[in-house]
Structure 1
Amino acid sequence: MNLYKRGLVVGKFCPLHQGHELLINRAQDASEELLVVSYTRPEFSGYEPARREGWLRAQFPQAHIVVLDDARLAALCAARGVPSRALPHNDDDGELHRHFMGWLCWTVLERPVDAVFTSEDYGSGFAQVLERHYASGPVAHVSVDQARTLVPVSGTVARQDPHAHGAFLSPIVRADFVTRVCVLGGESSGKTTLAAALAAHFETAWVAEYGRELWESQDGILVYDDLLKIGREQLRREAQALLAARRWLFCDTSPMTTYFYCVEMFGKAEQELAQLAEHGYDLVLLCAPDFPFIQDGTRRDEDFRARQHAWYQAELARRGIAFVDVSGSVDDRVGQVARLLVRGVD
């Protein structure tokens, strides 16, 4: 049975970690309605409002989520016909933050609360300010794991290195900090071998080429509609693999390759496939065609490989996508990429 009509949780959520999730879950269980507000001034790079909002909405779809920066607050005030104000600075006095939140709930959102849930020592004073100035009745303060015994992490610590503290982040949050590496190359240029070798080297996940899997399952026959299916499924599998990846995810090919084959085979491509081909990565590797060409029954010939490699070079340049050439043996290539990633190419 809910103890409160409307609960409130406020935080930066930079990043959203399991301590925050414990707090929000407790508040949600105790409230008929839950309001979750996130703001920070200044913003932290990599923790933009849209990203934080995505995490909160994914994890707490039943809550009323409000993620603010100055522009979002101004737009919200304009829609309600309320004069706007600037967000408080993180270093401003706590009393200013309390009155800001009271004004936001009472005047802008028209959602006064009767309970505040925090893991901080300011909670009681926060509830008192709301009760005195921005509520029509009592406002309770509910403290949740203030000593950090259940979830021993803070946002400040997790923000310093989200990978090192990944155990305290839900998969959907952790996935946003994974560096996605795409491996491209012509036929028989070693890209699949390299993707698998890099995943083994870094003890993380990799995404195999779905197009090849489908081609084999259909006895070497692909029709036009299959290419869009391949592009969609390739990205779906990438998204799934991100949830299990550790720091890096290695992707054997991308929808750009699917787009190439679609135009090569059928002379045209669906607009959606062309859009999928714009899918971005943090690092793109282009495998040199310096392996002996191996005909495994699925490939064209060495001339086609050279033409495909040239197409990648031209197309990546045309799209303004930076890429790194990798060459030599598998060990040579793994070493080249490892040095890049350790230096922080992300």
Structure 2
Amino acid sequence: MRRYRHGLVLGKFYPPHAGHHHLVATAADRCDLLTVLVCAATVESVPLADRVAWLREIHQDPGIRVVGTVDDIPMDVRDPAIWDAHMAVFRAAVPEPVDAVFTSEAYGGELARRFGAEPVCVDPARSLFPVSGTAVRADPVAHWDFLRPPVRAALTRRVVVVGAESTGTTTLARDLADHYRARGGLSARTPGVPEYGREFSERKLARLRAARPGADWSDVVFGSDEFPVIARRQAERETEAARLTSPVLFCDTDAFATTVWHERYIGGPNAAVAEIAARTRRQHLWLLTDHTGVPFEDDGLRDGEELRPWMTGRFAAELARTGRRTVRVTGPRDRRLTTAVAAVDELLVEGWDFADPLVVPGGGAGAAVPVPDLTEHR
């Protein structure tokens, strides 16, 4: 089997899937250096930088180089001038000589000829991995197991339960995870992300009691600098879970909620917490647990029963101000779960709003047909 000095794999990777990774791995095994060129159009809804980052994480072999470029030229494989325009984009991104072009597509021969390279076809029937970028965009859930962790983390629908103390946030988050696991299939893998702030508080109280036996929660004092630590770790745990999860993830609080908890304990905003909440905003639905009709239970890490109406109001106000999709849940436990499940199911039915790739005019009367895009690659 011939070996090459410099090979090329070119595609949209919109998004990357198992077929892409097989193509890259196969090409890398036959090349001293493999360049993976990610071509993205600005009309597409997955940023070029994300696709490049995902591929670099997945393919960390030192012989693989991943680069990206913007290609906003619609493709018509019948038009030599359009081919020339695309090649100018490709050559600008990969100026070095290319010895082999690895593809699974019919256009591979022409693409290789224009690079002055040998065409190498890999699994053109897609028998090993029956998946395509078009299929993933149309139905990510049906092709979930063809996706690697960083792509799953980006696509997972994240549902966050927030609320004041002793309003059932933890109970609802657990009930939701249990409900969706019971549906089976992919949903059987549905995890929950617990509240890191509670774990942090338990350790803080334990340290105080080690120094002062008999101390209780009222003796614990928080510093403003502790809240960014809580927010950051909460966001990290959420992303860790999303990488390995089913298409939906349930979180007992998030970094955003920490902004309100900082107000409650310190008395004002914290710019660092707000920055973390903004930077890690990947969630899709917030469920706000109402305090009305919920008895206050002191579990040893709670106080401020009288503050619950204020906190519920602050959560509602900040959720609205920041444009977060919110459903408020009230009533007994079973009604709350019913309301929450309906909201989550509505989110899932809406699906994943991938922008269509570029189209080329055709068909008369202003119609358009999908572009036979040479950078689709599965």
Q: TM-score range by the shorter chain?
A: 0.7 to 0.9
- 1:321 is displaced (CA, Å) by 3.0
1:56 maps to which residue? 55
Q: Which of 80, 83, 96 is the matching residue for 1:111?
A: 96
Q: Match of 1:21?
A: 21
* C-alpha deviation, 1:343, in angstroms: 2.3
- Distance (Å, rounded) in 1 between the aligned partners of 2:42 and 2:321: 36
Q: Does structure 2 retain, via aligned residues, the 8 Å contact 1:179–1:247? A: yes
What residue number does 1:240 align with? 240
For residue 306 of structure 1, report the CA deviation from its aligned partner: 1.5
Name the counterpart of 2:195: 209
CA contact 2:284–2:325 (8 Å) conserved in 1: no
CA distance in structure 2 between the aligned counterparts of 1:222 and 1:301, rounded to whole angstroms: 14
Q: Which residue of 2 aligns with 1:186?
A: 164
1:36-57 alpha-carbon deviations (Å, 9 max, x no partner): 222355844x433233223223
In 1, Cα distance between the equivalents of 2:2 and 2:199?
A: 51
Corresponding letter in the other structure for 2:290: A
Please give the secondary structure, in 2, of the residue aligned with 1:165. helix
> 5 Å matches for 1:1-346?
3-39=3-39, 43-44=43-44, 46-61=45-60, 62=62, 63-70=64-71, 87-93=72-78, 99-106=84-91, 109-131=94-116, 139-203=117-181, 204-219=190-205, 220=217, 221=220, 223-224=222-223, 225-267=225-267, 270-278=270-278, 279-280=280-281, 281-290=283-292, 291-344=294-347
User: Following TM superposition, by how much is the alpha carbon of 1:108 offset from its aligned partner in structure 2, in angstroms?
Assistant: 5.5
Would you say the 8 A contact 1:2–1:32 is kept in 2? no
The 1:184–1:106 alpha-carbon spacing in structure 2 relative to 1, beyond 3 Å, is: closer
Task: Report the residue type matching 1:232 in the other structure.
Answer: R
Secondary structure class of the residue paired with 1:218: helix
What one-letter code is carried by the residue in structure 2 that aligns with 1:49?
L
Paired residue secondary structure (1:337): helix
What's the CA shift for 1:149?
A: 1.8
Deviation, structure 1 residue 165: 0.5
Deviations 1:268-326 (A, max 9, x none): 66532231233432111111113222222211143111121112122223333342111
How far off its partner does 1:96 sit?
5.6
- Compared CA separation, residues 158 and 257, structure 1 to 2 (3 A): closer
Q: 1:90 to 1:182 in 2, by over 3 A?
A: farther
Q: 1:157 to 1:296 in 2, by over 3 A?
A: same
Residue 9 of structure 1: how far off its partner (Å): 0.7
Tell me which amino acid in the other structure corresponds to 2:315: Y
- Structure 2 Cα separation of the partners of residues 158 and 49 of structure 1: 17
CA distance in 1, matches of 2:135, 2:318: 41
Could you tell me how far apart the structure 2 residues matched to 1:114 and 1:96 are?
24
Return the offset for 1:156.
Answer: 1.7
Question: Partner amino acid for 1:14?
Answer: Y
Match for 1:66: what amino acid?
V
Encode CA deviations 1:75-126: one digit per residue, 9 max, x unaligned: xxxxxxxxxxxx4314553756654454344456422211100112322232
Task: Write out per-residue CA displacement over residues 203-234 of structure 1, whole angstroms, 9 at most, x where no aligned residue.
Answer: 21111101111211232545424322211110
- Shift of residue 173, structure 1, vs aligned partner: 0.9
Contact 1:162–1:174, Cα closer than 8 Å, also in 2: no
Stretches of structure 1 that go unaligned for 5 or more consecutive residues are: 71-86, 132-138
Q: Give the 3-state SS of the residue equivalent to 1:164 in structure 2.
A: helix
Counterparts of 2:23 and 2:82 in 1: how far apart (Å)? 20
- Whether contact under 8 Å (1:2, 1:29) holds in the other structure is no
CA contact (8 A) 1:206 1:252 kept: yes
CA distance in 2, matches of 1:166, 1:228: 33
Determine what percentage of the aligned residue pairs are the same residue.
37
Aligned-pair CA distance for 1:178: 0.9
Distance in 1 (alpha carbons) for counterparts of 2:41 and 2:244: 32
